[in-house]
Structure 1
Amino acid sequence: MINIVFVVPYPEMEETVKKIFNTHPQKNILYENISVVYAEKVKVNELKGDIVIARGLTFQKIKKYKPLMPKIELSISALDIINALRQCIKKYNPEKIALIGNYSSIAEAEPFFDLLDCNIEVFNKDILKNISSTFKLAKQHGCDAFIGGYSVYIYAKERNEKCLIIKTGKEAILNAINEAIRTYEILKNNKIFKIIIEHSKSGIVYVDKYFKITIMNEEAQKYLKNSKTNNFYQKHIKDVFDFMLDGIKNVFSKGKEIANELHKIGDVKITATYMPIFIGNIVTGVIITFNNVEKIQQDEIQIRKKLSLKGLYAKYTFKDIIYKSKIMAQTVEQAKKIAKVSSNVLIMGETGTGKELFAQSIHNASSRKNGPFVAINCASLPENLIESELFGYTSGAFTSAVKGGKTGLIELAHNGTLFLDEISEVPISFQSKLLRVLQEHEVRRIGDDKTISVDVRIISALNKNIYQLVKDGLFRRDLLYRLDVLRLYTPPLRSMPEDIIELFMYYVRAFNRKIGSKITHITPKAAKLLENYKFEGNVREMRNIVERACVISSSAVVNYDDMYNALYNKNVVYNNSNMKNKISNIKNKDSEKQIIEQTLIETKFNRKRAAELLGMDRTTLWRKIRKMNIRI
């Protein structure tokens, strides 16, 4: 909830503000706190809330005495002033009106004063301190009526002077509330941004166009000579981290990122990246991110213990792909054609559709089959380690580095294939570096000053909509063009019903060998139940189902009950009225088909019982079964 403190400049406004609060489209995030106070009595130091809305003198007072409090000024329009003048003329018929206040809209209203058939003089002195002298001066100038804010009104009424308040319109009040909400969201995002920076494990420094530091997180401050001081703000970078000056100058002059610069702070080696910040086409600042090189090595050792790299060879071939369907036959034939060339490949498909199986098969059928096959899951690597993992580092990059350094995975895949699983998870900040490797066919280890030529075929895989990621700015379009030369789709299991039983029995035989079970076949009803299953996890889910069915079965045959218990929770109970409501509210045909199929399964394909649960007669159910091509 946003706690908005609305300081009402005159009591009559309170009701209007409450009505606007109560009818506001974002009411669910608003917490109203309306204070009826005026300039002389407002207790600025006691104001509490996320953001305050005030007008005129009250706003000026809050601005002066509480400068850090987020605030929105409730504006007074030229129309508000004109309306107040017209009402004053109508009510008092004065000889001359004193308009008292510092309102930016007075200049817009003044051209219309001559149309009001009354003498009007503006007194825009600092009436917060000398309102009495302003009144005295106005009376000396012949003013016999006054308009202004609530402070002016109270002062005049106490002395029986003719006076009206300049009232703010509903539109201005609504605009102020909307602006308060927008301001709060900006402030909240800034807080989130600061939290992210402060919790980063990398040192972060931002330098403006004058080479002065405006941001430095706690991790970066650890490298200061006196880590306890925070006296770095607006200091020249040469007075804090002098070694960064040349890199920053280079970025300002060329407008390009500088990556993996090796520096030394005392006895500590760091690797730093300098990135330009653009406003339009002009570099307005530079962000420097840096890490302790020795810490990168230590983290990498820990990651390697947890990371399951799949070796440097491919054990699967096209013979290991089990299928009978025409769709899979066409997919295999396409993959065999892809294997004959060395272009990069993008394999797209749902989770569990065998993308790595195809990648290994393509490698083993290609001219690179005698070279290494290096596989890595991009989602399993932290952002700060993916570069050292793929590029490697030199022996001089770390204080305790082993002789010879570490060979990166791209180097290890030289003359072979590098399989990048879940390529969509590669951080956007690293994608430009990967693109350069693909363009130049060269890689440079961290801490090295030379490049190494590599001949690597990249096979990438993903289960997300890569084109949507490009559209959303999360994946570089130019990198996609480098990866998406040849394309292969691995079809979901539900699109190949003729492969379901074949795969099931293949994994049954494998499970028999594993635990010594002796399952030989499944009953026709069990097979039909299996063929109607959705397989959202595809082949990977199929393996789990096989294991459950084999464990559940008490004989050499998997029957209907065994299969049902392996696929579904047998305790699921359908409520007749709830099912009727579901069917009656369905607008999507696929959803209706799914519910009908599920109901048939739950009733063990008893169409009479299924029709009763679905709230339709058997003829209607039969017609839908035929129309939707539902297997029974």
Structure 2
Amino acid sequence: MNPGFCQLPFEWLGEIINLAAERIVVVDQDGIIKYINDAYCDFIGTTIENAINKPVQDVIENSRMHIVAKTGQPELAAVQSINGSEMIANRHPLFVGGDLVGAVGTVMFGNPQEWWAYSSKIQSLLDELKYYKTKYEKELRSKYKFDDLIGISPEFTALKKLAERVSGSQSAVLINGESGTGKELFAHSIHGKSSRSIFPFVPINCASIPEHLLESELFGYEEGAFTGAKRGGKKGKFETAHYGTIFLDEIGDMPLSMQSKLLRVLQEKEIQKVGGQKTISVDVRIIAATNRDLEKMVSEGRFRQDLYYRLNVIKLDIPPLRERGEDIVLIASSLIRKLEKKFHREGILLSGHVIQKLKNYSWPGNIRELENVLERAINVLDGRIIEAKHLPLYLRDQELDGGPASNQLSEQDFLDDGPSLSLKENAEIAEKRAIKKALNLAGGNKQKAAKLLEVSKTTLYDKCRQYGI
């Protein structure tokens, strides 16, 4: 026997048992009651004196304590009727020195009222837990499927069929395409049709997370790993995506130091948390995406060649919208249906003049820019038909027979008589032009472009999304 237990005064034990278990009864191997507390006696309408040394089935209605004392098999959360009320009983066999000597029984809820009082106290906690569980599961599931990828152009149709065919593979996928072409939609769709679809889909934008935080985001950290680390540490994206898919967007912006650590995960299928000593096995499929020329970056020493080959097992090149002329009206119609729900509108149509302008434009921001244009048009639309006057100025003034108009606006564009623009619209045009110029000067590197513009990288990414760049 534990000597620490023996130090308790005997008279304490009864009170401790009463506090630890509201109603308790102990029987020997023959089913004779050897202990019963006041709470149980009050519950069944008897006294300790009248219950002790009596067969348990003679004292407690519908008892099975004598059976458990013989079989040694526990009966947990069993419903038992006593005094016309259903209560929940736990019956445990009692072993001492390896020998079965009896059984211990407790009553959890003496009547439905007790259960109701208990459940009402925890119901709000259960509801909150259910809410966060549902939210977590929804956020880590693929949101799009292949039916959401709109297009009938031969190149896009062939790409879509290839993506569907490789969905069942476990190999890494590299999606290449300009900003706004729908790389993330392809990633969602591939995961959704894969054998991993019931497990998490975890997206992470490698360019939007500061370099010093990227490792802890991807691999997690142990408690005390650095100043400000959460108590108990934190799971990383790879651990969260276990058995599922991790989508590494803007992989071309990942720092070289992190590329080597990512390569190790792909090779060894294990991670090590920041500040941790042990390795954790992970089983994830990698889908990476970029709008950068990774082959050129490899030749320039800005992207690891071995990592590139690891990622480039299956390559999907998404064509830009300007090469999908026959898809533009289909995509625009699909986006309008989506925007109708957002604006609580219905029956919105495109005029023939607008359709021609949409087909003639070069769409440097691709589908994202097209959605922004349509959203802007619906915001200023009074009726049901989108006319040229509802389009932004750079689309409104392009010459239909002269091909796509230039996105570069001269000072004269602001001075000529024409559709009046607000100060905000003029500022947006100038801001968009400055961002494009900086990106051209930086060779598409958004980090360098942000430095040229003297803004943070996060601000630049937000602006690019806003303007469909």
TM norm structure 2:
0.54
Give the equivalent residue in structure 2 for 1:453.
281
In the alignment, is the contact (CA less than 8 A) between 1:325 and 1:499 conserved in 2?
A: yes
Paired position in structure 1 for 2:200: 372
Equivalent runs, 1:433-582 vs 2, <5 Å: 433-563=261-391, 565=392, 567-568=394-395, 570=397
TM-aligned CA deviation for residue 503 of structure 1: 1.3
**2-side partners of 1:385 and 1:561: how far apart?**
46
1:400 and 1:387 mapped to 2: Cα distance?
A: 15
SS state at 2:376 partner = helix
Shift, 1:327, TM fit: 2.1
Secondary structure, aligned partner of 2:261: helix
Q: Secondary structure at the match of 2:258?
A: helix
**1:489 aligned partner, one-letter code:** D
1:338 is the counterpart of 2:177: no
**In structure 2, what is the Cα distance between the partners aligned to 1:594 and 1:431?**
48
Equivalent residue letter for 1:330: A
- Secondary structure at the aligned position of 2:207 is classed as helix
Write the distance in 2 (CA, Å) between the matches of 1:399 and 1:466.
35
Equivalent AA in structure 1 for residue 332 of structure 2: F
CA contact (8 A) 2:395 2:405 kept: no
Tell me the distance in 2 between the aligned counterparts of 1:330 and 1:374: 27
Indicate which of 127, 150, 156 corresponds to 1:328. 156
Contact 2:339 2:375 in 1 (8 A): yes
1:413 aligns with 2:241: yes
Larger radius of gyration: 1
Amino acid at match of 2:182: G
The residue identity in structure 1 corresponding to 2:395 is Y
Equivalent positions of 1:336-415 (< 5 A) are 336-398=164-226, 401-415=229-243
Identity %: 46
TM-superposed deviation, 1:399:
6.7
Contact kept in structure 2, 1:552 and 1:566, CA below 8 Å: no
Q: Could you say if the C-alpha distance between residues 525 and 453 of structure 1 is closer, same or farther in structure 2, counting changes exceeding 3 Å? A: same
Q: C-alpha distance in 1, partners of 2:299/2:223? A: 41
Change in Cα spacing, 1:407 to 1:510, as seen in structure 2 (3 Å) is: same
CA distance in 1, matches of 2:344, 2:233: 47
- 1:141-162 deviations in whole A, cap 9, x for unaligned? xxxxxxxxxxxxxxxxxxxxxx
Q: Residue 516 and residue 481 in structure 1: after superposition, are their counterparts in 2 closer, same or farther (change >3 A)?
A: same
Q: How many residues align?
A: 270
Q: Which structure's relative contact order is higher, taking Cα pairs within 8 Å and 6+ residues apart?
A: 2
CA-CA distance at 1:508 after TM superposition: 1.5
- Give the Cα separation in 2 of the matches to 1:567 and 1:399: 50
3-state DSSP class of the match of 1:379?
coil
Q: Match of 2:178, as an amino acid? A: E
Describe the superposition over 1:41-60 as per-residue Cα deviations: whole angstroms up to 9, x where unpaired.
Answer: xxxxxxxxxxxxxxxxxxxx
1:141-160 equivalent positions in 2, closer than 5 A = none
Structure 1's 383 and 400: CA in aligned 2 closer, same or farther, altered over 3 A?
Answer: closer
Give the CA deviation at 1:594.
9.9
User: Partners in 1 of 2:209 and 2:280 — Cα distance?
Assistant: 23
Give the Cα–Cα distance (whole angstroms) in 2 for the partners of residues 371 and 401 of structure 1.
27
Question: What letter matches 1:503 in structure 2?
Answer: I
Query: For residues 498 and 392 of structure 1, do their structure 2 counterparts lie closer, same or farther at Cα, with a shift above 3 Å needed?
Result: same
- Distance in 1 of aligned mates of 2:378 and 2:273: 50
Counterpart-to-counterpart distance in 2, 1:370 and 1:507: 28
Structure 2 Cα separation of the partners of residues 325 and 366 of structure 1: 25
- Take 1:399 and 1:544, find their aligned partners in 2: how far apart are those partners? 41
Residue 185 (structure 1) aligns with:
none
Q: Secondary structure at the match of 1:393?
A: coil
Matched AA of 2:342 = K
Number of the residue aligned with 2:30: none
- The answer to whether the 8 A contact 1:545-1:566 is kept is no
Q: Is the 8 A contact 1:339 1:366 kept in 2?
A: yes
* Contact 2:388–2:396 (Cα < 8 Å) also in 1: no
Contact 2:361 2:403 (8 Å CA) reproduced: no
1:402–1:556 CA distance, 2 compared to 1 (3 A): closer
Runs of 4+ in 1 over 6 A off after TM superposition: none
CA distance in 1 between counterparts of 2:295 and 2:307 reads 12
Deviation at 1:410, TM superposition (A): 0.9
Shift of 1:400: 6.6
Pair 1:324–1:447, CA change in 2 (3 A): same
Shift of 1:527: 1.2
**SS across alignment from 2:140:** coil
Q: Contact 1:311/1:375 (CA < 8 Å) preserved in 2?
A: no
With over 3 angstroms needed to count, the CA separation of the structure-2 counterparts of 1:548 and 1:422, relative to structure 1, is same
Give the root-mean-square deviation of aligned CA atoms: 2.5
Secondary structure, aligned partner of 2:382: coil
Q: Secondary structure of the equivalent of 2:194?
A: coil
Q: 1:425 to 1:562 in 2, by over 3 A?
A: same
**Do 2:221 and 2:276's aligned partners in 1 also have CA atoms closer than 8 Å?**
yes
- Measured in 2, the distance between the counterparts of 1:374 and 1:504 equals 29
Cα distance in 1, alignment partners of residues 228 and 387 from structure 2: 62
8 Å CA contact 1:349, 1:489 repeated in 2: yes
- 5+ residue gaps, structure 1, are 1-309, 575-592, 600-632
CA distance in 1, matches of 2:333, 2:219: 43
